[in-house]
């Protein structure tokens, strides 16, 4: 018997590993439900252990695979945005979404400005690089924030904190894009004296945001009509196949990117409009369940790779000054700008503190940095990836270890039993869809 016959086929190993991964996707959320531990922490630890094995020679560093990094993180984010929009029970209304506008219109711009100043003055980075990093780090992540978001559709798990963090994460990924493009544009015209503001404001801000919102709404309405309102025998809800949510995600993102507008923004708006087409239909649960399953699998694969990048030298360029910067971003800038944005907002102090604290950084930050570095020349990109990787790792640990006790405590303060949901049947035809 030769050595080639003794060693397992890599394809068979991959199939086995993927099967274990899918089992973990289904099982770990139940195991971690009451523990001060999050699924992302476990995934990163598993990835670090896997890529530390001597038999594994692949080094999943983002700089080695810039296009793959950009595209994979992009896919994970758009799936998460569709899931976030589909599970919002609250009807869209300017006044009822007041917490969202405060976090988007006040907290995020202040956060971008504060992070840019900190990086420019504190680390001495060029201002365009500081702006790119600030735009990458300011948005709340829709992928890793599942534990602080609202529950599935129609479950009633939508207090002000969970709604605010979910809607903020759904919209701020698209609204951070103008600042990423501003950094790219400023780098392109540096030293030339060419005018840039008019084109950036009219095209990158007005057109791409406006067209993204408009296209997302139209596509969401179209899918809503096809799914719930065409003649009974041909409407898509009759199929019972929640994969239509994946179709809506890809069509919305693809069409809006074709017309050069912000696909992230469009996908979330599509999801909100899709949900509004028939808010109480049981099919909403099926669409959300499929979206959530795809999101969790993609997220776990990405975090395994992130864990592999950590043990492959991602943080090697990081200095102690970078560690201090990361702590200030997470523990000072987000909480302070969050509380500033909530001044005058009618909510309990504990709710405001929770909203301000859980500015989770994650996959969206990876995407924006990858996009920026793929569209502009930047010296010392290794350190930028190290700094962003450090901030995301610290966010995953900080927020992942505190989310369960903080959210359970908040539920008790507001008269809710955090364990009551355990008696709720799982979503689907036999679960809360029938309640």
pLDDT in tens, 22-34: 787 777 777 766 6
Supply the angle between the helices 283-311 and 39-51 in degrees, to the nearest 10. 40
Single pTM value for the model: 0.88
Q: Quick one: pLDDT at residue 26?
A: 76
Q: Quick one: pLDDT at residue 68?
A: 94
What structural domains and CATH numbers belong to the chain? 58-417 (1.20.1530.20)
Token representation of residue 307: 């864990």
- Supply the DSSP string of 404-435, one letter for each residue: HHHHHHHHHHTT--TTGGGGSPPSSTTTGGG-
pLDDT in tens, 170-229: 898 778 899 999 999 998 887 677 888 888 999 999 999 999 999 999 999 999 888 887
Question: What confidence tier does 73 reach under pLDDT thresholds 50, 70, 90?
Answer: very high
pLDDT tops 80 at residue 6: no
Question: What confidence tier does 234 reach under pLDDT thresholds 50, 70, 90?
Answer: low
Measure Cα distances from 216 to 43, 50, 157, 259, 273 in Å. 32, 40, 26, 12, 8
What is the Cβ-side half-sphere exposure of residue 16, based on CA atoms within 13 angstroms? 6
The angle at the Cα of 60, spanning 54 to 63, to the nearest 5 degrees, equals: 135
Inter-residue contact 273 to 216 (CB < 8 Å): yes
Local structure of 155: helix, strand or coil? coil
The angle at the Cα of 44, spanning 390 to 422, to the nearest 5 degrees, equals: 120
Q: Look over the chain and give the mean of its residue pLDDT values, rounded to a whole number.
A: 85
pLDDT in tens, 100-151: 999 999 999 999 999 999 999 988 899 999 999 999 999 888 887 777 877 7
Inter-residue contact 135 to 176 (CB < 8 Å): yes
pLDDT tops 50 at residue 315: yes
Percent of the chain with pLDDT over 90: 46
Question: What confidence tier does 305 reach under pLDDT thresholds 50, 70, 90?
Answer: very high
CA-based max dimension of the chain: 76
CA distance 284 to 286: 5
CA 180 to chain CA centroid, Å, is: 16
Q: Quick one: pLDDT at residue 417?
A: 64
CA distance 38 to 81: 20
Inter-residue contact 408 to 427 (CB < 8 Å): no
Percent of the chain with pLDDT over 70: 88
356-371: average pLDDT: 92
Supply the angle between the helices 208-224 and 177-189 in degrees, to the nearest 10. 150
């Amino acid at each position: 018997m030769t050595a080639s016959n003794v060693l397992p086929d890599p394809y068979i190993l991959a199939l086995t590993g993927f099967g274990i991964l899918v089992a973990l996707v289904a099982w770990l959320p139940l195991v971690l439900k009451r523990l001060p531990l999050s699924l992302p922490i476990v995934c990163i630890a598993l990835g670090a252990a896997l890529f530390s094995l001597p038999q594994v020679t692949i080094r999943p560093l983002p700089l080695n695979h810039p296009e793959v990094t950009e595209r994979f993180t992009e896919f994970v984010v758009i799936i998460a945005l569709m899931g976030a929009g589909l599970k919002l029970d609250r009807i869209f209304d300017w006044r009822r979404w007041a917490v969202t506008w405060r976090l988007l219109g006040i907290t995020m711009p202040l956060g971008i400005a504060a992070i840019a100043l900190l990086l420019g003055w504190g680390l001495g980075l060029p201002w365009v690089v500081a702006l790119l990093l600030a735009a990458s780090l300011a948005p709340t992540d829709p992928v890793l924030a599942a534990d602080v978001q609202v529950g599935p559709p129609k479950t009633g798990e939508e207090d002000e904190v969970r709604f605010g963090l979910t809607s903020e994460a759904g919209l701020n990924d698209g609204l951070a894009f103008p600042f990423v493009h501003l950094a790219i544009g400023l780098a392109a015209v540096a030293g030339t004296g060419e005018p840039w503001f008019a084109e950036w404001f009219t095209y990158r801000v007005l057109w791409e945001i406006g067209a993204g919102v408009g296209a997302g709404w139209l596509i969401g309405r179209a899918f809503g009509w096809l799914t719930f309102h065409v003649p009974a025998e041909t409407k898509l809800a009759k199929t019972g196949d929640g994969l239509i949510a994946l179709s809506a995600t890809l069509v919305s993102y693809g069409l809006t990117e074709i017309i050069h507008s912000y696909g992230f923004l469009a996908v979330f708006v599509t999801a909100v409009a899709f949900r509004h087409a028939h808010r109480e239909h049981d099919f909403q649960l099926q669409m959300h369940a499929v979206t959530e399953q795809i999101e969790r699998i993609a997220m776990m694969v990405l975090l395994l790779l992130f864990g592999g990048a950590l043990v492959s030298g991602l943080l090697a360029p990081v200095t102690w000054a970078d560690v201090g910067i990361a702590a200030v971003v997470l523990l000072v800038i987000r909480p302070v700008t969050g509380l500033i944005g909530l001044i005058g907002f009618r909510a309990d102090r504990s709710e405001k503190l929770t909203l301000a604290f859980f500015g989770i950084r994650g996959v969206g930050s990876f995407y924006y940095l990858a996009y920026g570095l793929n569209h502009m020349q930047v010296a010392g990109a290794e350190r930028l990836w190290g700094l962003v990787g450090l901030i995301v790792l610290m966010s995953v640990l900080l927020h992942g270890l505190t989310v369960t006790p903080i959210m359970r405590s908040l539920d008790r303060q507001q008269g809710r039993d955090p364990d009551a949901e355990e008696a709720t049947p799982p979503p689907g035809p036999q679960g809360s869809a029938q309640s």
